[in-house]
Structure 1
């Protein structure tokens, strides 16, 4: 594990909202550890950081690949004051924080609805947005009325040959895009600082949906949305207050989606 425990601990002094960071060489899932801490009464602002996960998961129960020493596997415990009906917006808070952290080290970044962190394959080129690759994801798990756990995973130093062959056209990493190794601590610091600021703002009642929408890379573009009910294509026109995606269908009707898999069409 190349996380320096003392450097990680000092982040709690630099970012007062972060109460404590539990650092592990390996866990099954950082979200599971954070949930256990929440059940035991841990305060808001506790973070769980692991060098590797063996059972990391993403949205819809999918597994999330977290190799040792290469990524950020982080979960944050929050106890929001806002109504439980607003808690799904925590995904907006985390998504904006991830984008801000990645852009802060000089890497272009955006979000693919609803919670994928996307980056271009190479810096300096302007490839189609459809060629952008997933470098991270967010999983919000709510346990109302007491607390929620927000998992954030970011691929930092993973090279193409280290990615499983079947995922190489899908997954990216910051080092691959920028062409050089990236200090994980710098990304972690930017992520925690951005999340703390955005969360405090949101918890005080701020609306973040416009900022979140501005970070979505597919708005105004042709998309295909896949749901358990089937697939449809149209133009992604915007999002609603709850984060639902508004798609204009070829016949002119608007359809809203609150779950599904989106891909850009060219």
Structure 2
């Protein structure tokens, strides 16, 4: 029988203290923690009556989804699978900035934990530095009608032999000050609340994103939705969230969607 306490180094999240810390004025409207689910994003999207500011967290997510239909999973309680539901009042044309807002909030939280975090366009959070650099988090935004769900999966205590790919890492491997998932979740949700509120108020969000971008200034290969690839220098992320890549001939292309590989920094 699988018990939540079968791995003493990976205790379950403590829902009541989390609710006391994160719900209420200036915070989130609802917070639920489930032991296991296929996808927190899918579960929240299925709740048509969920209020703005609802949060769903899973101790274990066994069918997590990323961009381009990719799936991933991790050992129970080794990371955070967290989704929030918003009913934005800003025009739908502004919603593509929300994944960038979310990534910036993840960086805010992780920097407070003592690691060097930066963003790879459009949705990956990377850890830098001497202690196991790599991808620590992916962000996925999904829209249904007047609702948008922002999902993030953060690797917290995964060991080297548990990583899904060689380019991944975790907070433990990168030497973070804390691997307590309650602490990481609180820092992330508070940072996200601040960033989302600023976006909702019409404040510019791209300056903060650009400041922590690992893509701007890098030579990249962008795999485009039509199957072609573009190599060049990533020169900017524009105010609508599009990546600007300059090829060897000096031509600049604005990309709304692509799978980007970093080749080297300029």
1:62-114 per-residue CA deviation (whole Å, 9 max, x = no partner) reads 11323211101000010111001111111121111100011110011011000
Q: Are 2:30 and 2:54, in contact at CA under 8 Å, matched by a contact in 1?
A: yes
Q: Which residue of structure 1 aligns with residue 106 of structure 2?
A: 98
1:210–1:73 Cα change, 3 Å = same
In the TM superposition, residue 265 of structure 1 has moved relative to its aligned partner by 1.3
1:160 aligns with 2:165: no
Give TM-score scaled by structure 1 length. Answer: 0.90
1:249 pairs with one of 233, 247, 250:
247
Q: Which residue of structure 2 aligns with residue 229 of structure 1?
A: 227
1:175 aligns with 2:183: no
1:52 pairs with one of 49, 57, 60:
60
1:29 pairs with one of 39, 51, 54:
39
In the TM superposition, residue 181 of structure 1 has moved relative to its aligned partner by 6.0
Tell me the matched-pair count: 253
Q: Which residue of structure 1 aligns with residue 238 of structure 2?
A: 240
In the TM superposition, residue 256 of structure 1 has moved relative to its aligned partner by 1.5
Separation of aligned partners in 2, 1:15 and 1:222: 44
Q: Which residue of structure 1 aligns with residue 8 of structure 2?
A: none
Separation of aligned partners in 2, 1:17 and 1:6: 15
Q: Which runs of 5+ in 2 are unaligned?
A: 5-11
Separation of aligned partners in 2, 1:156 and 1:43: 28
Q: Which runs of 5+ in 1 are unaligned?
A: 124-130
In the TM superposition, residue 132 of structure 1 has moved relative to its aligned partner by 3.9
SS at match of 1:265: strand
Separation of aligned partners in 2, 1:180 and 1:104: 9
Q: Which residue of structure 2 aligns with residue 43 of structure 1?
A: 51
Q: RMSD of aligned C-alpha atoms?
A: 1.7
Q: Which residue of structure 2 aligns with residue 126 of structure 1?
A: none
